[in-house]
Structure 1
């Protein structure tokens, strides 16, 4: 952003300097006009004023009033609007064909072979279930604390919501403990007791 403002300010400064130079640049003195042009440039003196004609009194009934001139009507001229000339479309000039640059792609590489999945042994499943059980136990402890805090504050609605979550996690935890017990018996070679 700072660079943009600096560029704007620099451009404005250059514009101000250029306008100042043009405004205060000394103007060349105009060349004097030749005498012939000066004589033509000076207007001739005005003609002497014309004396108004003398008025002669005329008797009223001796001369008939002049007949009015026949009234001539100006010829009526009708102006027709001209329609605009139709625009002739310019012929389309095909654009010159630009050859596309040749792009060479490297040959496809062979993908690495996918390693086969390690066997999911009973020991592996036991460790997985034990880890899940530990995470759910941690959530159960946290939810029990939050429920106690909500009840202590008097927030009954929040306490009921947390209690529903706690009951669901406790059910999940029981199922995980049962699965851990079954897997421990399989790993230790003891047949599960049903």
Structure 2
């Protein structure tokens, strides 16, 4: 039986997938790590601060050592951890952390100030600021153009000259707007505080 060429790739993919699934299912599990017989000795600072928190000892056992007594040799195995957390009593001078709130308070933002009305005086001030910045930019571009001419960089000088012409045309329009806004601002009633 002859298999067509367009079925070869899907069949090969299905075979690879089947092998991968079987490998995962039949792969042996690693053995559990051996439990240590002797735990590392606790540090002296922990032994002197934390009291022993155990259930009452059975009558056949000797009483547990006190926290202020030095720790006995590490020959005795420590009790198995039962998955419970260690409780340390609160001492004098300890700060008790507040419990975390499931619903923290929302952040209080500063109030949004109402926008000032865009009066003729306001537009006049903004236009004056834009005009002064653009005039300063033209002066800088003229210095750069002169420096490019001194270096002999004709392409840069031409580019800066075109840019200066565009800025100067915009400055001319802004100055006309300034005159019109100044007339409107004079006729406008005074602002209320």
| Larger Rg belongs to | 1
| Fold in common (TM above 0.5) | no
Report the TM-score when normalising by structure 1.
Answer: 0.43
Report the TM-score when normalising by structure 2.
Answer: 0.43
